[in-house]
């Protein structure tokens, strides 16, 4: 009887341990890491990051991508390359892109120009497996505000916005290319959500970061591996020197003629004298810096 009791107790203890282990595994299966440090996307696909950025810069002011009509599904035909049918739902001569189609076209073009392997690049599906299997460096955020204030973002990074889990299929998952200065709210993407200058978005645009879901629950920043130029304090026009031109730009910023989100300028720090406000005192401070009296 004692032996049977011992066996029963041992069995129950074993089951309790197994149950606890299974609960633990189940809990962690749905968890996401705060950050993964691994390979850059450029390294994985053999893309030269400078070619990638040069390609984007060459089209940020024309209609090669911008203005291409948005269409859901596997559409990868920008205005500037719609003679063929890049996506499975595309028609020859018809321009249309969804969000993944835009990112795919940019990456594929830059990778082909670099002599890399563009066949690895996911289109409409397979992104989560792609960045997991290739150990691509990335960081997870629960809100846009947290992401923008993290210091992790760099111009050219990819941002995935998930309605829920990154593993859950949803028509409201969205991807774009970060086009700000690290803290500014700027995204280059193909979308049908939100407004620009009062007009409903339904095309490829450079706008604020707008998820497709009413409320994105997860933001994943994928590191492309773009080399970042070191910014010089008070060099607002990014020409490599602090001069009278920067004084003028700060004055225009104070007069609301330049936005903090304008990626043409480095307006990340405008309160140069650290008094809590950006005003004429900051203009005077920079003038003193230029004169060597600050």
Q: What is the pLDDT of residues 161-210, one digit of tens each?
A: 999 999 988 889 999 999 998 889 999 999 998 888 888 899 999 999 99
Buried b (16+ CB within 10 A) or exposed e, 81-97: ebeeebbebbeeeebbb
Once rounded to an integer, what is the mean pLDDT over residues 12-28?
30
Mention every residue, 6+ apart, whose C-beta is less than 8 A from residue 35: 138, 139, 140
Cα-Cα-Cα-Cα dihedral of 99, 104, 106, 108, to 10°? -170
CA dihedral 234, 238, 244, 249 (to 10 degrees): -80
| 136-174 residue pLDDT tens | 999 999 999 999 999 899 999 999 999 999 998 888 999
Nearest alpha carbon to residue 157 among 223, 93, 209, 68 = 223
pLDDT at 16 over 70: no
Q: Average model confidence (pLDDT) for the chain?
A: 86
The band of 117, judged by pLDDT with boundaries at 50, 70 and 90, is very high
Give the whole-angstrom CA distance, residue 220 versus residue 270.
29
Q: Among candidates 287, 292, 293, 279, which has minimal Cα distance to 243?
A: 287
- What is the model's pLDDT at position 12? 38
Give bridge partners of residue 39 from the DSSP assignment: 136
Strand ranges inside 78-209, DSSP E: 96-97, 138-141, 158-162, 174-178, 187-191, 195-196, 199-200, 203-207
Give the residue among 143, 216, 206, 204 at the shortest CA–CA distance from 179.
206
Residues 30-51: pLDDT tens digits?
455 689 999 999 999 999 999 9
> Each residue of 261-280: pLDDT tens digit?
776 788 878 888 888 899 99
Helices (H), the chain: 2-29, 41-45, 49-57, 99-114, 127-133, 144-148, 244-254, 280-291
CATH fold of 35-222: endopeptidase fold (from Nostoc punctiforme) (3.90.1720)
For range 86-102, the mean pLDDT: 96
CB contact set of 56 (below 8 Å; sequence gap of 6+): 106, 156, 177, 179, 188
Within 8 A by CB and 6+ apart from 198, the residues are none
Please say if the pLDDT value at position 252 is more than 50. Answer: yes
Q: CA 173, CA 212: separation in Å to the nearest integer? A: 6
Which pLDDT score is estimated for 32? 56
Q: Is 199 helix (H, G, I), strand (E, B) or coil?
A: strand
- Please report, for the chain, the start and end positions of each structural domain, with discontinuous segments joined by +: 1-31, 35-222, 244-291
pLDDT for residue 22 is more than 60: no
């Amino acid at each position: 009887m004692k032996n049977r009791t011992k066996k029963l107790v041992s069995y129950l203890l074993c089951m309790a341990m197994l149950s606890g282990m299974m609960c633990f595994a189940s809990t962690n299966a749905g968890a996401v890491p705060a950050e993964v440090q691994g390979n850059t996307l450029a390294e994985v696909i053999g893309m030269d990051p400078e070619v990638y950025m040069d390609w984007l810069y060459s089209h940020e002011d024309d209609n090669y991508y911008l203005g291409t009509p948005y269409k859901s599904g596997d559409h990868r035909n920008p205005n500037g390359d719609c003679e063929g049918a890049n996506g499975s739902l595309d028609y020859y001569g018809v321009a249309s892109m969804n969000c993944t189609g835009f990112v795919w076209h940019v990456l594929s073009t830059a990778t082909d120009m670099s002599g890399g392997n563009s066949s690895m690049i996911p289109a409409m599906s397979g992104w989560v497996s792609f960045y997991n299997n290739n150990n691509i460096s990335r960081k997870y955020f629960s809100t846009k505000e947290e992401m923008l204030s993290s210091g992790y973002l760099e111009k050219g990074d990819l941002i995935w916005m998930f309605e829920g889990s990154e593993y859950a299929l949803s028509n409201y998952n969205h991807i774009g290319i970060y086009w700000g200065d690290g803290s500014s709210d700027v995204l280059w993407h193909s979308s049908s959500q939100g407004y620009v200058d009062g007009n409903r978005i339904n095309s490829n645009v450079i706008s604020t970061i707008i998820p497709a879901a009413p409320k994105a629950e997860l933001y994943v920043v994928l590191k492309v591996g773009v080399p970042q130029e070191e910014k010089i304090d008070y060099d607002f026009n990014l020409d490599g020197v602090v001069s009278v031109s920067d004084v003028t730009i700060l004055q225009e910023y104070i007069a609301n003629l330049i936005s903090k989100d304008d990626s043409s300028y480095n307006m990340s720090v405008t309160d140069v004298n650290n008094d809590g406000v950006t005003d004429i005192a900051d203009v005077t401070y920079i003038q003193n810096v230029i004169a060597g009296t600050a």
